[in-house]
Chains A and B, each alone.
Chain A
Amino acid sequence: MSRFPTLDRREFLRVSALAGGGLLLGAWLDFGTNGMLEAAEAPLTDGEFSPNAFIRIAPSGSITIMAKNPEIGQGIKTMLPMLIAEELDVDWSAITIEQAMSEPAKYGSQVAGGSTATPTNWEPLRKAGAAGRQMLVAAAAQAWNVPAAECTTASGVVTHKASNRQMTYGALATAAAAMPAPDMATVTLKDPKNFRIIGKPMTGVDNHKVVTGQPLFGIDVVVPNMVYGTFEKCPVFAGKAVSANLDEIKALPGVKNAFIVDGGTVLNGLLSGVAILADTWWAAKSARTKLKVTWEEGATAQQSSAAFKAKAIELFTQAPARALRADGDVNGAFAAATKTVEATYEYPFLAHATLEPQNCTASFTNDAIEIWAPTQNPQSGRVLVSKTLGIAEKDVAIHITRSGGGFGRRLNNDYMVEAAMIAKLAGVPVKLLWTREDDIRHDFYRPAGFHKLKGAVDASGKLTAWQNHFVTFSNNGTDFVPSAGMDGTEFPSLAVANRNVSVSTMPLGVPTGYLRAPGSNALAFVNESFIDELAHAARKDPLQFRLELLAQLPTETPRGAMVPSRMKGVLEQVAQKSGWGTRKLPKGSGMGIAAYFSHRGYFAEVVEVNVSRAGALTVKKVWAVGDVGSQIINPSGAMNQVEGSVIDGIGEALAQEITIEAGRAKQSNFNDFPLIRLKQVPVIDVSFRITEYPPTGMGEPALPPVVPALCNAIFAATGKRIRSLPLTKHNLSWA
């Protein structure tokens, strides 16, 4: 959870006024368990009805719904307003959707991360719409002097059938504003069978603006009198700029200013570097090619991917530092086993490479700052900027622009605090734009990791022991660096009576963070590939082997844990869709299966590949089946997310790797950090299994299983087992 400032009434009103126009002085929704809608105390202007911060109805009939969360390509600006519009009972085509600023006191959490928006907003936002509808009905009932229960709504009109009277929401807006806000506990929601918006494929609300090239993104922001900035940091993370040829730089064409910015050692805070400001970004960037900086690189300049690997291999020969999960008698099970399998798996650091490079525009005046940023987590940015600049949080105003991709990169606001500090020091509005090279070299990488696995199967082919020694990163031996953790309950550990999941760590001076399906995007590769190895050792079909493992899990699961029947459901459906086990493929072709539970969602995927004798890999088709609960809110957006996740996972597995050498990232652009291209993309068949559980998010859970399913397919096609990524490191040729 992000932290919200506790605002007193006065601050609340002040923050509201920042939104401009005084139209949003309604109330705010508490997203806690009680979901109380607080009554509006501030006067509404011009007879407008603003039942809560999310809805505005003008007497003219125009209806505006606020989109509270950052749009990063996940379709949230379309999806969340659908929830409100459905229960408000208005036509989708009749509403205007506006992006909210960062104002947690009004909107609650505004984070794009963790696939959390669906589960946390599913009920509160529908209730927000329903409460608005209820107040409009109350206003009509009062005007007509009839019981509210006799009134119905549709398409923004309240009807009293018995007396054949109708009033539009616009006509009722002023009266509705005077109605008492209902107790949220009494607000009733529609029966899903009456949904007219939820469950319909809706196209993105900004599609037209996107395809016509209108300014929407952070990089497109223009503010009066702004200068353009570039910022060079030490290639060794958190290294310090000691001196630079600033006078020479300042004399270059177009350059307005150049200075050293001091920074700290917290990797997601402000780091030291040299700012160059110019009339145009190209002038700033051109000047930067002449920049000479003396850096104090610091101790982490010694770190390298090769040394991490060597250390992991050494740690594998020693007893693990600590156990995460140790149950049963692992050694006894290995001694009694018919077959044991041992293998070492590893995966590299990865960058996010959002297509829009990091950028932020900031304008600082009189100890207050206005910021325009493509960010997934504006509130954490506000806290960081406030602390670093020494100004109050209330004096940090943040406009959330559309983000050209997020994937977890923009949960960190390093570029925001850089722009803020540079604008403060320069005394003019600054638009900071990173180069692609800055972006690849100063990411919060998906951490690399190493696993030594051992499993045992008995004569019946049952998995009797599971052992995983995970070597990962920690700077104090206890807390994992971001995204580098594991808790030992990951499937199949809990399905095996004798299990030993343990961990050893090494220190890391490389920034790490959350890459789409963090943790899972790596652990799925390891666990689901090794399960495939064990299935082959047990002479069982990999699907059958998984179903048997699922049957060994306790059916009563703690809240938030995997429900075995849901995983079984998606596995069986993907098997049926893909013709698993029924198709005979020639050597060089193969299918692989994998399934994973992450971010509350269940996905099972089958990948079909062809590998030429010479080793050329073609990913031909992917079948993906998901269970994200009772309702696919926007089927078009949901399918797009699944396709995107599948493609993302394949792209990572094919060719992506960040190599650390001499404490710095070796790669710098798409020539050496290749992203997947259209001609490499398979046919993707997506379907959903509808279950009775509340709907959950779509941005992440489809990614993890595709990586092992692909690697398992390569094994089926060639007999080559992939135990390290990316695939470009492997010779896949076969005879």
Chain B
Amino acid sequence: MPAIVINGKSYEVSAEPETPLLWVLRGELKLTGTKYGCGIAACGACTVHLDGQPIRSCVTPLSAVGSKAVTTIEGVSGAEADALNTAWNDGDVVQCGYCQTGQLMSACALLRTTPSPTDQDIDEAMSGNICRCGTYPRIRAAIHAAAAARTPTV
């Protein structure tokens, strides 16, 4: 049985190696914060981090995970994640909320590489994440707010 590392913990999983990571998370491990939206890497609802990089878990087979660290919404932490969480709450971003965990995982990866993103940076980093409810203006504003909260004022 392959072991994978999720949110800092090692799990033995029984799934076949070609099983997408998404279904290992949602099924075997009952980590249901990562969502299914399309299964073809077109919506971003299933975004998790693999060694810190945002990936679409619906098209990432278990065999491609290997010993790389998987981080899901249940385990994401750190200054960027905290700032985003606060900004998402303060900005009342959520409508149905189904896309939001994927949005947060993408936004978190963005802020870690680009602490003060421009609108164009946000467009590029976030356009793989669909929000069917159209919370996009608030997502953009919340990312800017989280970035501002992280940037020390002189």
Which chain A residues have a beta carbon within 8 Å of chain B's beta carbons?
A: 71-75, 201, 203-204, 206-208, 210-217, 219-220, 222, 228, 253, 280-282, 353-357, 402-407, 433, 435-436, 636-637, 640-641, 643-648, 651, 669-671, 675-679, 681, 683-684
Contact = CB atoms under 8 A, between A and B. Distances in A.
A405 B98 contact: yes
Contact of B140 (A75, A355, A640, A678): A678
B23, B93, B132 — which one has the most chain A CB atoms within 10 A of its CB? B132
B51 interface: no
Given A355-B132, A681-B134, A206 B23 contact: no
B80 to A, nearest CB: 14
Given A404-B97, A637-B92, A675-B132, 14 more contacts: A207-B92, A211-B89, A213-B31, A213-B101, A217-B97, A219-B32, A282-B27, A355-B35, A356-B37, A404-B35, A406-B96, A670-B37, A670-B43, A678-B136
A207 B134 contact: no
B146 to A, nearest CB: 12
Given A73-B97, A675-B130, A211 B104 contact: yes
A424 to B, nearest CB: 24
B137 A210 contact: no
A357 B32 contact: no
5 closest A-B pairs (Cβ-Cβ)?
A: A213-B33, A73-B96, A404-B98, A647-B134, A210-B97
A401 to B, nearest CB: 11
Contacts of A646: 134
B52 interface: no
A355 B19 contact: no
A222 B100 CA distance: 21
Contact of B96 (A72, A253, A678): A72
Interface in B58-103: 72-74, 85, 88-90, 92-101
B42 interface: yes
A556 to B, nearest CB: 38
Contacts of B20: 282
B12 interface: no
Contacts of B136: 647, 676-678, 681
A406 B133 CA distance: 9
- Please report whether the interface of chain A is mostly helix, strand, loop or mixed according to DSSP: loop
A219 B101 CA distance: 14
Contacts of A407: 132
A353 B96 CA distance: 13
- Please report whether the interface of chain B is mostly helix, strand, loop or mixed according to DSSP: loop
Nearest to B134: A647
A357 B98 CA distance: 10
A605 B129 CA distance: 27
Given A210-B97, A211-B100, A678-B122, A357 B138 contact: no
B147 interface: no
A553 to B, nearest CB: 32
Contacts of B31: 213
Contacts of B95: 73-75, 405, 640-641, 644
A683 B141 CA distance: 11
Given A211-B94, A436-B37, A643 B15 contact: no
Nearest to B31: A213
Contacts of A651: 134
A211 B140 contact: no
Interface residues of B, number: 57
9 contacts: A71-B96, A204-B94, A213-B32, A280-B27, A353-B132, A670-B40, A678-B131, A679-B124, A681-B134
Contacts of B135: 640, 643-644
Contacts of B97: 73, 204, 206-207, 210-211, 216-217, 402, 404
A201 B92 contact: yes
A646 B73 CA distance: 29
B127 A679 contact: yes
A355 B101 contact: no
A640 B95 CA distance: 7
B15 A214 contact: no
Contact of A212 (B45, B74, B93, B126): B74
A253 B104 CA distance: 35
A669 B100 CA distance: 20
Contacts of B129: 678
B73, B98, B136 — which one has the most chain A CB atoms within 10 A of its CB? B98
B37 A357 contact: yes
Contacts of B98: 73, 217, 354-356, 404-405
A213 B35 CA distance: 9
B148 to A, nearest CB: 19
Contacts of A71: 96
B85 A211 contact: yes
B42 A669 contact: yes
A658 to B, nearest CB: 16
Interface string B8-52: 000000011001100100111011111111111011010000000
Given A207-B94, A212-B73, A669 B38 contact: yes
Contact of A436 (B15, B39, B104): B39
A436 B140 CA distance: 27
Nearest to B122: A678
A281 B123 contact: no
A431 B92 CA distance: 31
B11 to A, nearest CB: 15
Contact of B126 (A637, A678, A683): A678
A374 to B, nearest CB: 9
B111 interface: no
Contacts of A228: 27
Given A73-B96, A353-B132, A679-B123, A640 B38 contact: no
Contacts of A204: 92, 94, 97
B139 interface: yes
A670 B130 contact: yes
Nearest to B87: A211
A215 B74 CA distance: 11
